[in-house]
Amino acid sequence: MKTIQAYRYALDLTPVQERAVLAHAGAARVAYNWALARVVAVMSQRAAERSYGVAEADLTPAIGWSLPALRKAWNAGKEVVAPWWRECSKEAFNTGLDALARGLKNWSDSRTGRRAGRSIGFPRFKSRRRSAPSVRFTTGAIRVEADRKHVMLPRLGRLKLHESARKLARRLDNGTARIMSATVRRDGGRWHVAFCVEVDRADRAPACPGSVVGVDVGVTHLAVLSTGELVDNPRHLAAAQTRLRRLGRALSRKTGPDRRTGQRPSQRWARASARLGRAHARVSNLRRDGLHKLTTRLARAHGTIVVEDLNVAGMLRNRRLARHIADASFGELRRQLAYKTQWNGGRLIVADRWYPSSKTCSGCGAVKAKLPLSERTYTCTTCGIILDRDLNAARNLAALATGVDTAGSGPVTGRGADRKTRPGGLVATKRQPGTAIADQTGTVPPQGRTTDHMPTRAH
C-alpha cells in the first residue's frame, strides 16, 4: 500500500546556515507579497472600471491565479523587484508563489461552494516578524547522508540533524520510499526539516483482528475504553499555566513593537518572546507525543475502533470548557486514528453525532430523556445497572460495531421533538484495509437535538 507520509527532524544549524535559511524564507515571503499585491491591484482596477460602466471586453486583463501563471509573471519582473534573486534557490520563490496560488484557490472554492467547511478568507500579506519562516524544496539534491545525521538540501548544503534519521534512511536504502519534497521551518524557536515521502507500506494486521473497542473521549479522562481502561488526561497546558503566566507578565513589561508609531521591539522583548514561544512549543510537543502513543497502541491492538463524531468547533464556543477541550485535542486524536487504522489493516467506525451513547443503558438498552452533564454516574431505572457515565458510553459505541442493539426501538425526546437514533447510529460502515472512511448510511434527518450531544458537550 502506497501512502504519503511525513518524517520530521529537528536541525542543529550554525549561525551561517541559519542566516542562509532565513534568506530563503525571506525570498519566499517577498515573492508571495509581490504577487498578492499585483493580484489585488488588478482586481481593484477591474472593479473600478466596472463601476464606470466599462464593458467586460475592455477591462484590464486579469492575472491568472494558478502557479504557472504566477511564476511566469514573477520571472518577467524579478530583475526589478528582486535583483538579488540569484543568491537564493528558485525553490524559495516557488514556495511563496505556490502558497499564494493555494490560498487564492481555497478562497475562490469557498465562495463558490466547491469547498466544504467554514469559509476561507482572502489571502493576507505576510509579515517578517509575525509569519513563521518556511521554505520548501521539491527539486535538486535532497537526500539523507550515509551517516544518517546529516541531510543535503539545494543551495543550503549539508545540514546537521539533532537526531538520527535511520528510519527514513532504511526505507530509502530498501527502495520502499521516495522523497517528494523537504520543508525547512522554524517552530517554537527551533528549526525543523520535514520530508514528504511516498512510502510503500507492507500490509499489516492488528494483534487482535476480531477485537472491538469503543473510545469515549473527554476532559476528566482523555479516553475511556469499552474494555474498562481509563486513559488519564495529562492536561499539559494546565500544568504549564503557571509558567506561561509568569513568562507572559515578563513579556508585557518589555518594550514591544508598535505598528502605529513604528516602534521596533527591544532585544529584551525579543528574548522574552522567544522564551514564551519555547514554553508553548513544549506543551504542544508533549501533547502530540501522548496522542501518538495512545493512537498507535489502539490501532495496532484492535481490529475495529469506534469513536464519536463530535462537533469540536461548536464545543470550543463554550468559554468555560474551551481551554480544557483544546488541551485534550479531540480532533487530533480522531485524525490520527483515521490514518493509523488504515496503516495497520483495521477499520474506524464513526458514530453519528446525535447518537445518545451516554443516555443509553449498555445493559438493557433503555434510553433516558435527559442526562445532565453533571451526572457522572449512569443509573438505569429499568435494570438497575450503575456504572461510570463514560464507560457506559464507550460500551454503547462498541456495541455499534458488533451489531448488538442496545438502544431499543423507541424514539428519544430532545427539545420537544422526537428523533430515531438507532437506525442512523452509524456514520461510517465497515471498510477494507487501504480504503477511506465509508460514507454515511441512511440517517433519519434530525427534527430536534437531544440534550446529550449538544455542540458544547464534553464528557
Our CA dihedral for 360, 372, 392, 398, rounded to 10 degrees, sits at 60
- Which residues belong to the active site? 216, 308, 390
Whole-number Å distance between alpha carbons of 199 and 259: 46
Q: Which residue has the cell 479522562?
A: 221
- CB–CB of 427/439 below 8 Å? no
For 150, residues 6+ apart whose C-beta sits below 8 A from its C-beta are: 144, 158, 159, 160, 161
Angle between helices 90-112 and 15-51 (to 10 degrees): 40
Give the separation between CA 424 and CA 412, rounded to whole angstroms: 13
Angle at 346 between CA 345 and CA 352, to 5 degrees: 145
* Alpha-helix residue ranges (DSSP H) falling in 82-235: 90-112, 166-174
Phi/psi of residue 6, each to 5°?
A: -110, 140
C-alpha 454/C-alpha 414 separation (Å) is 10
How high is the pLDDT of residue 142? 94
Whole-model pTM over 0.85: no
**pLDDT values of the chain reduced to their tens digit, one per residue, 459 residues:** 899 999 999 999 999 999 999 999 999 999 999 999 999 999 999 999 999 999 988 899 988 999 999 999 999 999 999 999 999 999 999 999 999 999 999 999 999 999 988 899 999 999 988 899 999 999 988 999 999 999 999 999 999 999 999 999 999 999 999 999 999 999 988 999 999 999 999 889 999 999 999 999 999 999 999 999 999 999 999 999 999 999 999 999 999 988 889 899 999 999 999 999 999 999 999 999 999 999 999 999 999 999 999 889 889 998 889 999 999 999 999 999 999 999 999 999 999 888 888 899 988 888 888 888 888 888 888 888 898 899 999 999 999 887 634 333 322 222 333 344 444 444 443 333 333 333 333 333 333 333 333 333 344
> How many Cβ atoms sit within 10 Å of the Cβ of residue 422?
22
Q: Among 409, 424, 435, 432, which Cα is nearest to 351's? A: 424
Is the CB of residue 321 less than 8 Å from the CB of residue 219? yes
* Cα four-point dihedral sign 331, 334, 234, 8: negative
**Angstrom distance (rounded) from CA 12 to CA 18:** 9
CA distance 406 to 396: 7
Cα gap 184→413, rounded to integer Å: 53
